[in-house]
Structure 1
């Protein structure tokens, strides 16, 4: 369930302009490689555009044309259902599929939405190329929680914010070269506070890590993988890396929508959305060379300039392999039939070079290889793909407002990646 387009409740903290990229640096909290590069082993990255806009801006300042959209019409496309899935009143959303080509089985994480203040991550498995999925585990649970905040907080004058801790927008990966077999399946979520009155405190959170030996579990909470500076120590304390300690990410007031990819050689990439203002989100790439024990800054995947052709916001990175290459899915914002700005499709990009950027044209503009969209300006996104899930194709989240209360749903596109 992706809320950032509806309520950027972080406005009092917003400020500062975008800083351009540079060499990798120490992220704090145990992050490695102060002043070093992330390495050339490869990483996924990306940038995005809007299914309803002219394209992406680059160094030339203009917008590239987008290819015609492939439709994912919820009135025609089959809904992705999960056998044995426990009830979730408002539905399921935000799938992340991990199913390597030729693998005997794959797994998927997704958000189960009971209420705004009750969102958790579930795990399902498939052994038929994604034709069917079966629930096997809850990776985490939403629960009442308290975090300390600075004195004088406008949200929590008492110095303590109370509410529910939720876990959503997950990314699931299999890391076969991790020497610790108990954590070869890795899950990343944006875990944050929902305050009374369904106030979404995205900044009072962090990118959390969970691990398991197999998709059914047992799933273990490892704590914050990536944190940032906020008015609460909860956002940074104990984090493997503190993103705002990277010069290139010092203006991020919250990170969200993690997208992970494991490359040969044990390289673990993590794309994140950096919220730096009330209408500004860009995608940054972090990289680990030691299975998540430390993180380096690897590159800016989508700058504010790139995003300017897409209402200034593009998010929901999903990194995947297909056709012997790595790719990025990203979702732009735009007007929807609901009368609000929401997710408006999914864009596919090829990754170039060492994987820290997408393929760009001669003017430095990101090249969109494919667009997924729904008719009638429907709310659609984010999307996920995995080469081994050939019976499913891309899977897309869509908000079906005309069918409450189960408004959050996932649909199979039947479109073969990339």
Structure 2
């Protein structure tokens, strides 16, 4: 009886392994080639690009710093003061640090220069409760934050949303043990409220962390199988707060969706799925990730980073909304999203992971769109942000 059980278990394990290998091979064989997609000629037209490295004046000099990433820009109501939320990667751990903090900088010259304000979210060592008495040591990280001005909100006009998750040397990034948190303030310089665990995904995060206010998976049948959400973009328009979310399943980025709140983030509704893996395939890529929302001269845009195993993060694509209220993008006759403009990464940098998880504010005229890019030659400061000097729309 025992031998039969062992044989059955081995058969099941072997069958599962074959299924996993089959799925892997399928995606490898069917992976699109970016060189044959519509983005390739846009790269050729623009030629070699060179952007200005963004320096945060007055930022503390940390001996174990690996640089800064994940820019999010938002300007004051009159457009005179700009605020930059970004990730700071630190920690004496190879290859690229174990702590990811959220920091804030300020500009009064429309993005020509930036001055350090402070650290908003501090990444720290922690112990994860796995249940049944099991524990795991690691780090709580704050990544891919987005800053938005939500005028008229009783708790303050400013909100930040950030992906908080657990990381350990043994497991790496444990997204299932993570959620999107929210903080509010009357002034970006602070003080900021305590963080609220806002968005979860179905059963994730599991107990004892299952205290998020909104189960995003329950907002639409289209989202019922997502594992987690990340890479947010934010925008307020006509009294509504919009968030773009990257929905992830067990094989990685799946789709980008749009949520809306009409009551300053008290309640949320699903608006529409913005782009999918099918859209990525039509563009010559495997996925679209790193979302952001932006406005420029009355036009609204979704910014995304196309990626594949050949080119992990290949710059920034801007898609114009046909209707922000309905969450629909402008599409061609075949139903594919129309590229409004493309921002390539700098090919002169040694950048295997690439870059492109950008953000934009129309008041940032001294810096234009801000793009992060990975540069191995600058090690250990491999995470960098650049001012492209470019707008989304023609002047």
> Does the pair score TM above 0.5?
yes
Question: Which residue matches 1:134?
Answer: 115
Structure 1 residue 365, shift from structure 2 partner: 1.2
Greater C-alpha radius of gyration: 2
| 2:278 is aligned with 1:311 | no
Q: Alpha carbons of 1:382 and 1:131: their partners in 2 closer, same or farther (altered >3 Å)?
A: same
| 2:146 is aligned with 1:171 | yes
Q: Alpha carbons of 1:146 and 1:326: their partners in 2 closer, same or farther (altered >3 Å)?
A: same
Q: Which structure 2 residues correspond to residues 250-399 of structure 1 after superposition, within 5 A? A: 250-265=224-239, 267-309=240-282, 310-334=284-308, 341-353=311-323, 354-376=325-347, 378=351, 379-399=354-374
Q: Any unmatched runs of 5+ in structure 1?
A: 1-10, 15-48, 57-63, 152-157
| 2:74 is aligned with 1:98 | yes
* C-alpha distance in structure 2 between counterparts of 1:71 and 1:268, whole Å: 37
Structure 1 residue 355, shift from structure 2 partner: 4.7
TM normalised by structure 1 equals: 0.77
Structure 1 residue 235, shift from structure 2 partner: 5.4
Structure 1 residue 308, shift from structure 2 partner: 2.3
Provide the secondary structure at the position in 2 that maps to 1:332.
strand
Residue-by-residue CA offset, 1:94-125 (whole Å, 9 max, x unaligned):
10011268511111100000044200100111
* C-alpha distance in structure 2 between counterparts of 1:404 and 1:148, whole Å: 34
| 2:169 is aligned with 1:196 | yes
Provide the secondary structure at the position in 2 that maps to 1:383.
coil
Q: Alpha carbons of 1:413 and 1:362: their partners in 2 closer, same or farther (altered >3 Å)?
A: same
Say if 2:315 and 2:345, in contact at 8 Å, map to a contact too.
yes
Structure 1 residue 293, shift from structure 2 partner: 1.0
Structure 1 residue 345, shift from structure 2 partner: 0.7
Question: Which residue matches 1:39?
Answer: none
Structure 1 residue 409, shift from structure 2 partner: 0.3
* C-alpha distance in structure 2 between counterparts of 1:306 and 1:394, whole Å: 23
* C-alpha distance in structure 2 between counterparts of 1:366 and 1:319, whole Å: 15
Say if 2:111 and 2:365, in contact at 8 Å, map to a contact too.
yes
Structure 1 residue 256, shift from structure 2 partner: 0.9
* C-alpha distance in structure 1 between counterparts of 2:238 and 2:205, whole Å: 38
Question: Which residue matches 1:155?
Answer: none
* RMSD over aligned Cα atoms: 2.7
* C-alpha distance in structure 2 between counterparts of 1:245 and 1:159, whole Å: 29
Q: Alpha carbons of 1:67 and 1:357: their partners in 2 closer, same or farther (altered >3 Å)?
A: farther
- Structure number with the higher helix fraction is 2
Question: Which residue matches 1:54?
Answer: 37
* C-alpha distance in structure 2 between counterparts of 1:100 and 1:68, whole Å: 37
* C-alpha distance in structure 1 between counterparts of 2:35 and 2:387, whole Å: 21
Say if 2:199 and 2:213, in contact at 8 Å, map to a contact too.
yes
Q: Any unmatched runs of 5+ in structure 2?
A: 1-16, 21-31, 92-96
Say if 2:34 and 2:285, in contact at 8 Å, map to a contact too.
no
Structure 1 residue 234, shift from structure 2 partner: 5.4
Q: Alpha carbons of 1:299 and 1:68: their partners in 2 closer, same or farther (altered >3 Å)?
A: farther
Would you say how many aligned residue pairs link Structure 1 and Structure 2? 350
* C-alpha distance in structure 2 between counterparts of 1:118 and 1:361, whole Å: 43
Say if 1:51 and 1:372, in contact at 8 Å, map to a contact too.
no
Structure 1 residue 144, shift from structure 2 partner: 2.0
Bigger RCO (CA 8 Å, 6+ sep) = 1
* C-alpha distance in structure 1 between counterparts of 2:278 and 2:41, whole Å: 16
Question: Which residue matches 1:113?
Answer: 89
Provide the secondary structure at the position in 2 that maps to 1:221.
coil
